[in-house]
Structure formats: C-alpha cells, structure tokens
Structure 1
Amino acid sequence: MEIYKNIESLVYKKDNKKYSIKIFRTYYPKRYEINFSDKKIRDEIYNFKNGISFDKFLIEIQEWLSEEYGNYQLDGLVFLPVPASNKKVNKKRYQKFCKILCGNLKVENGYNYINMKENSTPNHLKANINNKKYEFILDENKLKGKSLIIFDDILTSGKTFYSLATLLEALNCKIKLVLFLARTIKSEDYNEEYFKIFFKI
C-alpha cells in the first residue's frame, strides 16, 4: 500500500532543521482538472477537514504507526494535532478522531494542549506569504519537555508547521514525527521556496 513507503525528511532551507515526516496522500486544489481517483481522495480530505468522516484515515494512520513503531516506541509520546482556525471546526475535525486514535494506540492525547488565537488566520490562507504567522496558544505545563507526534491535514508552504515547531522546541519538546494527511501538488513541481523533502536511506 502507498502509506507504507519509507519515512521522509522535511528540511527547512532557512536553518537546515530536519524533521521526520510521513505523508499519506497527494492533494490537488480545486483549480486542477483531475481524474476520478484523485477527486475521490480530495473529497475524502475535505470530509476529514470538515469533520464529516475520518474512519478511513483513522485506520490507516493507526495501522501505520503500529506497524512502523509498535507500542514500545510509541510509549510516552504525545499526539498533538495542529488546530483549525475555527474552534467549532477544530472540535469537529479532531476531538473524536484524537480520542479514538490515542486510546487505541495508548499514546497521550494532546488535543486539549493546543489552540489557535481568535482571529488568527492560518498561514496557507494569508495573501502575503512572507508575513505569515500562525498564533498558537500552548499549554506549557502539559507540553514542556515532551516527545511529540505532530499531526496536520495538509502540507502546503510548511510555514504553519515551522511556526509551531519553533514554539515547541523553545519548550524543550522533541518532535519525533510529523504526520500529514496530504501534500499539496503545485505547478512548480515541488520546487519549494521554504523546504525540501528527502527520502531517508
């Protein structure tokens, strides 16, 4: 299956920071003319983002983590979802998903450890990409010094994750793995301005 490909490395050009990542899908924005199979994937991602359905992704992520890491390596980790910009959507998208996933894997559920400030716009929705800043509210007492699996839906510019990673590392957190449902396909053919992705050998 596609999801069992090797882990990749996300490397930021600014400071050469490297993170281990896993991406489960390819995502085509609506401006693309795509085939039925890719449209089905896009619809599944929309359903996840809108809190309509998450069962398929839940099973795949849970199976992948169990197979790649097992209970021993997952022990002591916190599963931390990157919040949606709207609190209502965030609750629909993540609350039940995180509760089931973390319960099944026996990892600490970080759903309540992170929120986004009111009126903060996600990085990928801002017009001026150079001035992007995702404003998070972190429960420092719960997160300080913890080892984390960070989860987000779409990897586009990467700046949302990078903003969060910088804050977490200031709390001495260790980011063990970053999971994305999908990576946005761009006309530049992955010639990213902010980061590069490499397969681990």
Structure 2
Amino acid sequence: MSALSPNANLKEINAYKKQINWGDVPAIFHLVSSSVGELDSILTHGFDSAYKKVINPNSWNLELFGAYKDENGELKVKNKPEIILKHDYTDMGYELHCYPVINGEVVTQMVLNNAQCPFERWMPESMQMLFRVNSLIAFAIFCYQSGDDADLALMKFTHRRVEQLIKNLSEFFHISAIKGYNIAQFYQEIVKRNGNILTQEEG
C-alpha cells in the first residue's frame, strides 16, 4: 500500500482514504472533503461566492485602490485598502470572515458609496463570510481521537488551502490583522486539550 505524499492533492487524499479503508469512507470525511473541494475550485469555477465578490475589481472602490490600466490594458492598483480577517469556528464548521476598515474603524454594518470604504457596496450578509468548511470542528476532534494518515492529510491540506486563499487576498488588500486560531493552531489546541475543546485553559 503506497504512502501518501506530504504534498498530496485532494484527489490523491480521497483515493488514499478509500484505499486504506477498503472503500468505506466515513460520512464526516466525505463532508469535509466535499467542502474543501469547493475551496479548491473557488477561483476557477463559475459559481458565485463572497470570496470571488471581494476580489472582483467590479466591486471595489477603484479610486481608493488608485486603480489604473497598464500598457497591456491590465488593471493595476497603487494602494492596498485595509481589511481584517477572522478565523471563526461555529456549529456549522470553520468560516473565514472579512471586515473592511474605514478610518481605523472595523466595519460590521452595510456601507454604500463611502469614499473611504474599499468596496462600492459592502453588504455583510453576502460578503462578510468569505467561505465555510462544513463540519471541520467535528472532523478535527475525530481526526485527533481516531484519525488515520488520510484524515490528518486532509486537515493539513485544508489548512494550506485556506492559507493560500488568504495569501491571494493579501495581493489586493492590506490585511492589518488576522484574528482567531488558524486551522493548524486550532487542531494543536484540540491536541493540547486532549480532544476537549470546551475545557478552559488554566492560567
């Protein structure tokens, strides 16, 4: 049985999971894998998402970006408007949230046509949550308690994919803060607390 490469892609991780489990893939693995598959194609496939809206120049306040077209007609920006990101863990799973910053203030409400806002229209209900990985908390606990190499590989792959999507955002925006545990830190916290994430840290 061939070992999994440290840089395995999602397709290879899924195939390995089937191989070592004789085709019997737990529902929790399938849920997370499907969700991560959507992240994997968030920039290449046609379906709409908050993440795509946020990096779409059509939604930007182009004046604030200092946007211009180069000699090849490609859009370039002189400025990187400020945003804050937050790793959020809910009953639904893991979510990455985005908040514009206007004059040093974090924006949580709708903003329309504000010259200091990075976006012409900031609609929190459709733009704040950039994406979600379903059931990631339950999967992380499962991974710690009884996971195999494929489960751990999926956790690592999910972390890498999210970090890459954050890096993509940093090409257009000044990310002044990222709040909360990233996925690797969250998993390490589960290990530290012996699988019980409800335990309060002593100190």
| Pairwise TM-score range, normalised by the shorter structure | under 0.3
Normalised by the length of structure 2, the TM-score is 0.25
| TM-score calculated relative to the size of structure 1 | 0.26
Which protein, 1 or 2, shows the higher relative CO under an 8 Å CA cutoff with sep ≥ 6? 1
- Which structure would you say has the larger Rg? 2
